[in-house]
Structure 1
């Protein structure tokens, strides 16, 4: 029996869904088949518009903000092997689509560290250094498919260069809802409550540093307030990006509902669906590279691996990245 070829838009969507990030703790009652149909209904028409116009598929991904300020989670302030592998994964997605569709694809990384750095306790100087390092990696290896876009690149915000506080303030004025409205919206939907709890946990963990001397209950209270503000800024950034990139396929580093306009993706295996390269470290397990917190890596018995005199990652066994000369291509 001859199989009918699948439309090109389906093949492109399948390439994206191969790296879809799913929250294993999601209590959703939908089946994988139901979810796939919901995703198709949202995404196929958007993909088809690019195909009909003969244009490259355009993606935007809010991500790569800055390293967590908690040294129990990360190796330092600058990108390491976790970011390099993740950028390689995003480049591969675009390259895979190029094999299916001649115009190809490109992805704009919308770095959101500047958006909420003042809330999470990361200095603008650290954010600038992190963004500069990410930009150099892209320019050296992935410029054909990847681009970097920061708050200061946004022409919609007419503010003096390097006046980051003014940029944030203007973004909030133009695109953000009040904090009370954000909290009400979060707590009145299952998905919103799940997001609120997850970000609250992130804020608690990020601020539970070795130098913290307060009580856990006080930090939990602070983390909940921070979570609402981070979500407010993130949603405002998303609305700004929707205006700046109106036709782009929207990706996310967090799990997303099947009916969402965004598709959650993972860039490398991780201990859970919420850990990211900037909240963890890469650990060479011998047969795979996995993301986890620095503390978890140390407790597992992994040893630190250096590259170019900088902390790079951890390894359970002798690391392939110190033995294989092709490692520098990552």
Structure 2
């Protein structure tokens, strides 16, 4: 578990999620303590069998029921859960219980939890555990092994190859070839072995940065269009080698962070709706056996399951304090979902703060980096812009700490609810699993830059951590083959300078900055441009006239020098004909 990930939420109290059959055979276990859980299962099953008459039942609106059983047996392995708690909670006694729900296929999904005794009467904690049990999409998948069928292994390898070719982003300490690929294949194999659509998830596409120095507007633009195309192409490739298909779930994290970064909740809602609208307009017909891309956000996660939400009481979280370091307009549903997320899976804020103050290396590095980023991102937010330099730094530091807390809570939530999914991330990861880093903007199409003057050279800082579409803008320069991803200020500075002219361009495929060099020759003069082409093409086909009839393009072939004189004679003959 990451150094900062300590708390007493439902997430931190779970030993493991598990599947068993009616006879008590353990089929699968998932969670941070799943290995230890598998070892203690025989003792636990013995306790379950001996206490069958003491189960408590909770009837659900759908007719299903959750059965819970207190575990009072002295099982030494249960004490391992204490390492998930903050230091002040690690010496408390434990209240342990099993919660189970039977599924129509006759199998039983269960969860073993241990809470500190001081939290035994926490109604919200009980609801949170039931929510996880009802909402998790954990499946009893088999593991890839030497006994797996060659066909299933082959498909898993093909999907890993497609990911590596189409989407994977390398890290500076990349471990894809040292266990990561195997972890990826194992996740894929679980679906393949059952002939089910492969499911992947990507927490991303939150909202546009509130800093107009970075972006050209508040709605998805050309950068998002390209990213959606890249993701869809990746899933399409999987469907070509795997008949049941695949679905990539884009899980918007906009409401997780919006109140920290100066973006109103309604603006996030608008961005989400527009992103979905763009995708449906681009791809109105589904071509695969299942949808290639699906979307969901916090409200979909918490409020779409009547069984899970019907017993919830808002009074349980009414007094929960969520820091809002930056002034934004909040909506009641979004704020409630943030409370639920932090209550179900949040790390302890005091522990995070203590790690920073004690200069724990990981915490300090993360905190300082996040503070620098937020100081820049919040620069143009009205409530921050008017502050003094010192005040802005203090706000950025508060936001940084809260962002760390929110990010950990969201990551924990996804881990609980989508444990079998192939988890993708736009952040840098060593690619050893469970998360795999991706590149949303392909190298052969878009180059991240920090200035137009040096746009033809890759930026070393962007080799491993690719800037995101929602913190930057696309710049197109007339005559350049590549598009560029950069802060909006890069384009604005160029337009205000002596070399470029242009503006923000609205197009059906999303907005971008369209620039061209000042003093470019217009259609009143003939011009000649030179490009390198294949030596296999016919010479005459390499002299082209533009659509305006005034510009000639000479495509010089890669041929030995002795053919150059012959080539130039043909060129001048065509120019004379055009005159």
Range moving further from structure 2, 300-309 or 88-97: 300-309
Match of 2:375 in 1: 204
- The answer for unaligned runs of 5 or more in structure 1 is 319-330
- Write out per-residue CA displacement over residues 218-251 of structure 1, whole angstroms, 9 at most, x where no aligned residue: 4333223212211211221222222332311001
1:232 aligns with 2:369: no
2:472 to 265, 277, 280: 280
Structure-2 separation of matches of 1:309 and 1:257: 37
Task: Confirm or deny: 8 A CA contact 1:105 1:145 kept in the other structure.
Answer: yes
Does structure 1 retain, via aligned residues, the 8 Å contact 2:431–2:437? no
Shift of 1:151: 0.7
The superposition leaves residues 196-223 of structure 1 with CA deviations (integer Å, 9 ceiling, x where unpaired) of: 4443332111112286243444433322
- 1:76 is aligned to 217
Q: Is the 8 A contact 1:21 1:254 kept in 2?
A: no
SS in 1 for 2:513: strand
1:20–1:290 distance in 2 versus 1, CA, 3 Å: farther
User: Counterpart of 1:291?
Assistant: 485
3-state secondary structure, aligned to 2:511 = strand
| Contact 1:305-1:311 within 8 A present in 2 as well | no
1:61 aligns with 2:202: yes
Supply the distance in 1 between the matched residues of 2:509 and 2:246 (Cα, whole angstroms).
33
Instruction: Give me the whole-angstrom Cα distance separating, in 2, the residues matched to 1:293 and 1:232.
Output: 27
Aligned length: 307
User: Is the 8 Å Cα contact of residues 115 and 168 (structure 1) preserved in structure 2?
Assistant: yes
**Normalising by structure 2, what TM-score?**
0.49
Paired with 1:309 and 1:94, the residues of 2 have a C-alpha distance of 23
* Cα displacement (A) at 1:40: 1.6
Alignment of 1:43 onto 2:181: no
Of the three residues 278, 293, 297, the one matched with 1:146 is: 293
Rg larger in structure: 2
Over 6 Å off, 4+ runs: none
- Deviation track 1:4-42 (CA, whole Å, cap 9, x = no partner) reads 99832222112222322345xx5x4xxx5x542231232
Please identify which structure carries the higher strand content: 2
Aligned to 2:253: 112
Question: Structure 2: which 5+ residue stretches go unaligned?
Answer: 1-149, 315-330, 450-461, 518-579
TM-score if structure 1 supplies the norm length? Answer: 0.82
Distance in 2, matches of 1:193 and 1:45, equals 34
Residue 257 of structure 2: SS of its match in structure 1?
A: helix
**2:434, 2:508 → 1: CA distance?**
42
- Taking only aligned residues, the RMSD between alpha carbons, in angstroms, comes to 2.9
- The answer to whether the 8 A contact 2:239-2:245 is kept is yes
Contact 1:304 1:312 in 2 (8 A): no
SS at match of 2:206: coil
Question: Paired residue for 2:168?
Answer: 20
Q: How far apart, CA to CA, are the structure 2 residues paired with 1:137 and 1:57?
A: 24
| Contact in 2 for aligned 1:152/1:162 (Cα 8 Å) | no
Of 340, 360, 371, the match for 1:170: 340
Contact persistence 1:58–1:107 (CA under 8 A): yes
Give the Cα separation in 1 of the matches to 2:278 and 2:269. Answer: 14
Structure 1 residues 104 and 185: alpha-carbon distance in aligned structure 2, compared to 1, 3 A threshold: farther
Aligned to 2:574: none
Q: Note if 1:313 corresponds to 2:512.
A: yes
Closer, same or farther in 2 for the Cα pair 1:35/1:217, shift >3 Å?
A: farther
